[in-house]
Amino acid sequence: MTPPHRRRYRDISGHSGVAYYEPGATFIRIWFKSGEGYEYNEAHPGARHVAAMKQLAAEGQGLTTYINQHVRDDYAEKF
C-alpha cells in the first residue's frame, strides 16, 4: 500500500527507476525503486526544473530521463 503522502508513479513505459513521488508547493520528493529518496526544490535545482518534474510525474512518463539529463545530482536532500 502506498503511504498517504506519496503517489505511485504510473511508469507508462515500464522502464522507469521511479517508484513514488510527492509533489509539494515548492518541492517534489522522488523515491526510486532502489529505495533512495531525493527532494528537489526551488533552491536545488530551481523552480523551473521542479515544475517540469511535477508535470512529468503527473503524466507518468519521462521523469527518470529528465532527472538524468537536466538535474542529476543537483538535489536539495537525499533520504
Q: Mind listing the pLDDT tens digit for each residue in 11-64?
A: 998 999 999 999 999 999 999 999 999 999 999 999 999 999 999 999 999 999
At 36 the pLDDT is 96
Domain of residue 43 covers 7-78
Residue 34 lies in a domain: yes
Percentage of the chain beyond pLDDT 70 is: 95
Residue 1 lies in a domain: no
33 domain residue, yes or no: yes
- Considering the domain boundaries, does residue 2 fall inside one? no
The reply to whether 52 falls in a domain is: yes
The H or E element containing residue 8 is strand 7-8
Could you give the maximum distance between any two Cα atoms of the chain, in Å? 31
Global confidence as pTM: 0.92
Residue 26 covered by a domain? yes
Q: 31 pairs with which residues across the strands?
A: 20, 37
Report whether 75 contacts 44 (CB < 8 A): yes
Tell me how many domains the chain contains: 1
The pLDDT assigned to 3 comes to: 60
What lies within 8 Å, CB to CB, of 43 at 6+ separation is: 76
